[in-house]
Amino acid sequence: MSQIEVKKIIKALNASDGAGVKLKRSIGTPEADYIDPFLMLDEFGSENKDDYIAGFPPHPHRGIETVTYMLNGGFKHQDSTGAEGIMTSGDVQWMKTGRGIIHSEMPAMKEGKLLGFQLWINMPAKLKKNKPEYLYIKGNELGIHKDNEKIVKVIAGKYKKAEGPEKNHNVEPIYIHVVLEEGKVFDYDVPKEHNSFIYLLKGELIIGNKKHEKTTDSSLILLERGIKLKILANKKSEFLFIAGKPIGEPIARGGPFVMNTKAEILEAIKDYNEGKFAKY
């Protein structure tokens, strides 16, 4: 069986988005522009309210899916489909923007620690003009596996008997959050056609059988294709493992829009400016 090894380790870059929310971006950067089908990965959060209080006021999207996973704190979501809700620790918002959505994500807290992730997943051309969908997943709906060595929370995919609530997805995503005790191992079988990566929130990991550079907090670990993933925690560690089947189509980006051609980006901008964007 093909052992998965490390391809590259990339330190997340400090950035800001929305109305000045401070974050760490690891996919969607010069070193990791697009890991098909994943377009962007941000770690957002701080214990300083000034770093997040302005939030993400109303803004549009087309052609992508956004997956927001909260570890600490609360955010209120509202969008042009009429969906709204408050995300709290452990919750997930999975939004399939399709042909267009306007949404806002604003802090539901005035102080305290905020920590979460936002992942952007590309949509194939045949789904980019679909009607938007909004899936709100409470933390207690995630698949959860616990033993003396680890805690595994499954948003998509499966680990042992724990299964994530997002199913029948076109890229067959795997999205797993792991807390692994020092000296313990996390093993996982990955579909051989999937692209995959680890985002190390904190700790230190040894991956595969080949020597690689030391891992550090808030770093993206790109993985070679393979089947058998073996992760050893050199010290207690917390990380995301994410994988998906590549779409293999050309992409054109224009801020919050991701389509297949520049003409489609210009069409999205025109639709938004003319007020036709989120009309269903």
Sign (positive/negative) of CA torsion 78, 81, 85, 90? negative
Tokens standing for 26? 């690891």
Secondary structure element (H or E) that encloses residue 264, with its range: helix 262-273
- Give the pLDDT of residue 128: 95
- Give the pLDDT of residue 10: 96
Q: What are phi and psi of 109, to 5 degrees?
A: -155, 150
| Closest among 255, 257, 253, 251 to 61, alpha carbons compared | 257
**Which residue type occupies 101?**
I
Predicted confidence (pLDDT) per residue in 106-151, tens digit: 888 778 888 999 999 999 999 998 999 888 999 999 999 999 999 9
| Closest among 175, 70, 153, 64 to 117, alpha carbons compared | 70
Q: Is 30 left (phi over 0), alpha (psi -120 to 50) or beta?
A: alpha
Structural domains of the chain, ranges and CATH numbers in brackets: 6-273 (2.60.120.10)
- Give the pLDDT of residue 175: 98
The residue written with tokens 């070193």 in the block is 31
Q: Report the C-alpha gap between 10 and 107 in whole angstroms.
A: 29
Q: How far is CA 84 from CA 118, 138, 147, 257, 269, in A?
A: 17, 14, 35, 22, 25
Q: pLDDT under 50 in the chain at which residues?
A: none
97 and 64 Cβ atoms separated by less than 8 Å: yes
* 126 burial level (CB within 10 Å; 0-12, 13-18, 19+): exposed
Q: Report the C-alpha gap between 257 and 235 in whole angstroms.
A: 40
| Closest among 166, 163, 156, 155 to 133, alpha carbons compared | 166
Whole-structure pTM value: 0.95
- Give the pLDDT of residue 1: 59
- Give the pLDDT of residue 277: 76
